[in-house]
Homo-oligomer: A and B are copies of this chain.
Amino acid sequence: MPELQVDLGRGLRLSNPVGLASGTAGFGFELADLVDLDRIGALYTKGTTRMPRAGNPPPRVAETAGGMLNSIGLQNPGVEHVATVYAPLFSQWRCAVIVNVAGATVDEYVQCVRILDGADGIAGYELNISCPNIAHGLDLGRDPGEAARLTAAVRAVTERCIVVKLSPNVSDIGAVAAAVESAGADAISAVNTFVGLKMHRQARRPVLAGSGTGGLSGPAIKPLAVAAVAAVRAAVRIPVIGVGGIIDTGDAVDFIIAGADAVQIGTATFPDPSTAVRIVDGLTEHLAMVGISHLSELRWHPQEPTIGLFAAAGVAPPP
């Protein structure tokens, strides 16, 4: 029986590498009737902020070729509600619940984590330093120094596992990854959404409200996310969680080949709530088919010399 367990560090062991991505699974309750939360490895909650947020005005979502834009604006009930009302209920599911935390300043993150640290039921934190849909949401994530400062500040107040979620909207994602690793991150998730814009052709302005931009997710961004994961993998030694455009087992395998230790399913859950559970089963089958016992054996090692598939299959080249 192949082994799907994954160790994210600080004692956080996931039963399998498949998680539901932040913002696509609420706080669990929203889709517990549709997704078997006992079968997945982790649930990353909707971004949680110090104070409650009503979110952005509509329209908040728009579809594009193979993707969707969202500008939810971090609608959430605020960290106190999450810590006192939601967290006590998290343990009803067997999946690890990792609370995604967002803020505009280092201090807001620290306050959120302090408050959440007082609650049981929380397996770890995912620091969203990359939300494109709120003012200043990207500032902390674009500069390696700022990202490290944030990570170190949160590290100082919690012993729980810290996952830092990176923005792809940067010149050098590897540099940010290396900076947060040195500052004490236990794992990295990559990537958040890409800044996109869709126009309303009759109205001659953006479809989405506000500045009009939103975050692009879905299959359209998969090759970009896989590239980001490979770049992060090359820059750090800690676990990497791949996210962006996964809709089936093959997609998840691609991220693992690129260097991910775990994955998150985001947008794909919307049209098909069973996606994550299907991928858990699919990964087990894939390991059996390929004949290996752990997913990490799938990983591509760029340094190793390339052997052609045919050659590997024992077909000799002509003399």
Inter-chain contact B223/A302, CB cutoff 8 Å: no
Point out the residues of chain B lying under 8 angstroms from A195, CB to CB. Answer: 224, 227
Do A253 and B69 form a contact, CB below 8 Å, given A206-B300, A224-B195? no
Work out how many copies of this chain go into the complex.
Answer: 2
Q: Does A67 contact B (CB under 8 A)?
A: yes
Q: Does A273 contact B (CB under 8 A)?
A: no
* Bound CA span A306–B206, Å: 10
Point out the residues of chain B lying under 8 angstroms from A230, CB to CB. Answer: 197, 212-213
Do A196 and B69 form a contact, CB below 8 Å, given A203-B309, A221-B220, A302-B212? no
Inter-chain contact A64/B223, CB cutoff 8 Å: yes
**Cβ distance A170 to chain B, nearest Cβ, rounded Å:** 5
Q: Does A266 contact B (CB under 8 A)?
A: no
Inter-chain contact A201/B65, CB cutoff 8 Å: no
Do A196 and B171 form a contact, CB below 8 Å, given A203-B309, A204-B257, A309-B203? no
Do A196 and B223 form a contact, CB below 8 Å, given A201-B250, A204-B300, A309-B203? yes
* Bound CA span A116–B176, Å: 41
Tell me the dominant secondary structure on chain A's binding face: mixed
Point out the residues of chain B lying under 8 angstroms from A299, CB to CB. Answer: 204
Residue from B194, B219, B309 within 8 A of A224 (CB atoms): B194
Inter-chain contact B67/A220, CB cutoff 8 Å: yes
Q: Does A245 contact B (CB under 8 A)?
A: yes
* Bound CA span A222–B194, Å: 12
Interface membership of chain A positions 214-234, coded 1 if the CB is closer than 8 angstroms to chain B and 0 otherwise: 001011111110110010000
Residue from B194, B245, B306 within 8 A of A205 (CB atoms): B306
Inter-chain contact A226/B202, CB cutoff 8 Å: no
Inter-chain contact A223/B201, CB cutoff 8 Å: no
Point out the residues of chain B lying under 8 angstroms from A309, CB to CB. Answer: 200, 202-203
Point out the residues of chain B lying under 8 angstroms from A66, CB to CB. Answer: 65-67, 219-220
Point out the residues of chain B lying under 8 angstroms from A142, CB to CB. Answer: 171
